[in-house]
Amino acid sequence: MSEATIAVFPGDGIGPEVTAQAQAVLENCGERFGAAIRFVEAPLGGAAIDATGKPLPDDSLALARSADAVLLGAVGGPKWDDPKSDVRPEQALLGLRRELQLFANLRPIQVHARVVEAAPLRREILEGVDILFVRELTGGVYFGQPSERRQGAAGREAVDTIAYDESEVRRVVELAFGIARERRKKVTQVDKANILATSRLWREVTKEVGAEHPDVELEDVLVDAMAMHLLRRPADFDVVVTENMFGDILTDEASVLSGSLGMLPSASLGASLNSFGKRSGLYEPIHGSAPDIAGRDLANPLGSISSAAMLLRHSLGLEEAAVAVEAAVSGVLDDGLRTADLRQPDTRQVGCAEMGAAVIERLSR
């Protein structure tokens, strides 16, 4: 049996609680589905600032580079929030994305049939929602230079820069088309081409890639209109590909469709292949570190557990295991178990650990 090394960065706030549950799930199903999994844990984010003074210590980065995949909890918290500070936990995330060249961030949005009532939109709008966001993750305004505050003739001023070259656009758009072919064969490219030069480049390159995939339908939508369509007719979208910051904003908006941010997973993929011949990647729930509920067994571990399912699929090639985990997650929701973020009538409230145990119980049936 092949052995997979997973780097585990529990991070801050509720990160350690939810990651422990995802790790238990991976432990339970790895061997049964064909891979022995070895976990190596290291500090990241605020926890790493406290321990070493750096949000992304060299040893943690080296571990991430050598692992077959990375499982991450969440980073950040009020303790490290001083905007004037030179070190911030979020730098760990951006550093990992840049150093591992994790250019494609996959964020699936689905609506579980029994959780529909927990979402603030009407059932008719939510029926059939199944969107996969592919957010570009290593370019755009997050990394463009110059990015600085300075003293100008008129006083304080600041500048940020959006920059993309065509190869950065092409690789993520190609990945999006590849995924769309396995799904409902539709790609929506989101931009602000009426204003931004980078958006016009995105449109051009996406059209060229689209021409190589005539079986996939391509549409371009302006980002402001997309913000509205996502709430009015979310079921119309299949794969949505967009640049870094638009993807950041639209995926938080889209998370509302699923009833709770706590349920949503993500995968950040790069080009390099791991010892399984698959893309190495970083897997984390979309939610943050939620310091207000940390350490109280209140967090929803399903986002982290679903991220583990994506890890099994994309970095270890264990599709059957991934499907089993996703079915177990869906199963516990069918059984009426809910963490505090998802209170609904006729359901039973459970803590983070009990929710994780229930998923494992389902998996082992």
Binding site for Mg ion (CB under 5 A): 248
Rg (CA), the chain: 20
Element spanning 5, H or E: strand 2-11
Active site annotation includes 164:
no
Which of Mg ion, ligand IPM, none binds 93 (CB below 5-8 Å, type-dependent)? Answer: ligand IPM
Nearer to Mg ion, 23 or 266 (CB): 266
Catalytic residue among 192, 236, 297, 335: 192
Distance CA 72, CA 91 (A): 14
Catalytic residue among 50, 224, 292, 334: 224
Nearer to ligand IPM, 90 or 217 (CB): 90
Binders of ligand IPM: how many residues, by CB under 6 A? 3
Catalytic residue among 142, 164, 191, 278: 142
Nearest 5°: CA angle at 54, between 74 and 95?
A: 60
Active site annotation includes 160:
no
The 3-state DSSP class for residue 269 equals: strand
Distance CA 39, CA 53 (A): 24
Which of Mg ion, ligand IPM, none binds 308 (CB below 5-8 Å, type-dependent)? Answer: none
Nearer to ligand IPM, 27 or 248 (CB): 248
C-alpha dist (Å) from residue 124 to 36, 116, 235, 337: 44, 10, 10, 24
Paired tokens of 22: 């995802």
Active site annotation includes 252:
yes
Catalytic residue among 165, 252, 292, 334: 252
At residue 345, what is the residue type? Answer: P
According to DSSP, residue 99 is labeled H
Q: Which of 27, 99, 174, 248 binds ligand IPM (CB under 6 A)?
A: 248
- Residue 93 near ligand IPM by CB under 6 A: yes
* β-pairing verdict for 265-273 and 104-110: antiparallel
The least distance separating Mg ion from the CB of residue 249, rounded to whole angstroms, comes to 8
Residues forming contacts to ligand IPM in the complex (CB under 6 A) are 90, 93, 248
Catalytic residues, by residue number, are 142, 192, 224, 248, 252
